[in-house]
Structure 1
Amino acid sequence: MPYVNVASWTEELLQFQQKLERGWANLARHARPSYAETPRELIFEQDGMRLWRFRGSEAPAGRPPLLIVYALVNTVWMTDLQVDRSLVRNLLAAGEDVYLIEWGFPVAIDRWLQLEDYIELRLGRCVDEVSERHGGVPIHLLGICQGGVFALCYAALRPQRIARLVTMVTPVDFHTPDNMLGMWARHVDVDRLVAGGGNIPSALINSVYLNLKPLRLHQQKYVDLVDLLDNPDRLENFMRMERWIFESPDLAGEAFRQFIRKFYQHNGLVAGGLEIGGKPVELVRITAPVFNIFAAQDHLVPPSAAQALRGRTGGSYQEWMFQGGHIGIYVSARAQREVAPKISAWLASDAL
């Protein structure tokens, strides 16, 4: 029979119990950590959508304003998660005049909103508001993930309104063989899904995302949580991310249906034939210089899906692959050092 050191085992058990007790106290203190704390001013509001302008400690460098267009999925505050993990703060520090669209939380009647409402009307209205505040100049646009798709469509429909376009972890070819999310979406009966519920519950979309990496995102991270329980700072960071993941808006039903059909199923940006509000969307009509940023370990938008933008626009094109993942490109230590400076340097460059 193997020897068991009862005293040592008992001591370890006691230490673990004490760690759990400290952890529960920390959890209670950090149950709802804050985010989105960069000073900002409300510029425009309509039907739940808000347009914000951020304020940095230094005056902007005088370049055209930069409007961030985030995805409809999850909230926009991944861009301003905390003081030391904030794309917004880093862009301000680099001299950019930063605006952001907060799409809001759709209600029941919003199930009829279409992609045209988001791209032509809401995004278009925000572009106009920002431009008018700066003398009517064309502005810089930074589109992130699905927001990057919206930005590409808008820049193709209204090329004269955009001075430069940055796309970040943005899918262009939705049918690349390594696109797990694309494979799932191509087999969804989206008509039945929308007809059955109107707006698409955020819990359903989050479940799809989490099940793309079920072991890591469903199980392992909560096993790892035990090691964080008695570390208040790391635990607060964990809980902040959990809040962001699960405090997500539902998706307007008709816009969701159109996005799945036009992009994931018909692959309209690459295959052609894409229309928004009855108007053709062709990437070659984008005349603004484009800076395309994607992430090497992105499981939602693999590099092949994003790199498909190369050679398809009508203006100059540059790209950069960030060494990280779909979330790491916002919150990792590497991202804080690299992403905003890369964007700002390109916006200030002589790219034509």
Structure 2
Amino acid sequence: MTDRRRGTRAVHEALPAPMREAVDDFADHLARVRNRSAHTVRAYVTDLVSLLDHAVRMGCTDLSELDLTVLRSWLAKQRTVGAARTSLARRAAAARTFSAWAHRAGLLAGDVAAPLASPRAHRELPTVLRADQAAALMDAPDRSRTPAPTDAGRPRDGDDTRPGKGDATPTRDRGDAPPGSEPDPVLLRDRLLLELLYGTGVRISEACGLDVTDVDQGRRVVRVLGKGGRERAVPYGVPAQRALDAWLTQGRPALAAPRSDRALLLGARGGRLNPTTARRIVAGYAEAAGLPRVTPHGLRHSAATHLLEGGADLRAVQELLGHSSLASTQIYTHVSVERLRAAYRQAHPRA
């Protein structure tokens, strides 16, 4: 458990009993009724515990005393200690979500956070690779023979990093494999991971959550369970199919263990590949290929940008990415100006 989570638990235990019960009931509501991810539940609970601790320090002895003044004071304090605009926006959203739920549950006389304004988050756009850079990254596992460890520490649950073996950064040129030699299963896994992230634009959590049964090889689509429990079918291309075939026939059987269950992507110890490990894998290959720093979300961003630049419909990209709002997809149009200019010059009579 991280220091931050220990601190949150300690503050939670110090709250008055009715407030502790409200926090627990709210967390259960988010997980069971709203079907929010474990990450979202943790973030909202952390924000709520911080808010209620601030309310107690302001003299509130009961949840019913929570009001807009307390909420604004809490956000103002967060700002003074240097919280980013994105963090403030999320905390305001957590407060509004809790307030609406508490009102419906009869814990608050009104939805006190409904008028609460939040700063517009400044969205930092991740690095967009050029098409040739993306191709170089996809080929990076083929140029590597032996991965080097990136984390010799103790693995987290589901994180199968092993000192000296697997889940790591490529370091040596591979060259031609000796005749009859078996390919490294970890490199086959890495190739599939990169192809899936760029070829489908799925989130890293979605990729690591895939089961073997989620892949329809006949139609070349994967069934993805996204945010809010929304399911979607995402197509993938021929390079990803080749990587998948190699992984399923030569890679996965070599790493599979009783704990593997139906997981598609496995760590070096046979468990489901952990997103944290997957992020290190992507960053390691990008560094080895001499590319700018790349994250899995950067690959998702690159995939969406390249689709739009290639003429894909914005609604289609929205469906592929699993965005509930078209506004989320529109951030990917920022680098498509040249395509729009070309279309304008070609079509407009006054161009």
Greater relative contact order (Cα < 8 A, sep 6+): 1
TM-score (structure 2 length as normaliser): 0.23
Q: Which has the higher strand share?
A: 1
Q: Which has the higher helix share?
A: 2
TM-score (structure 1 length as normaliser): 0.23
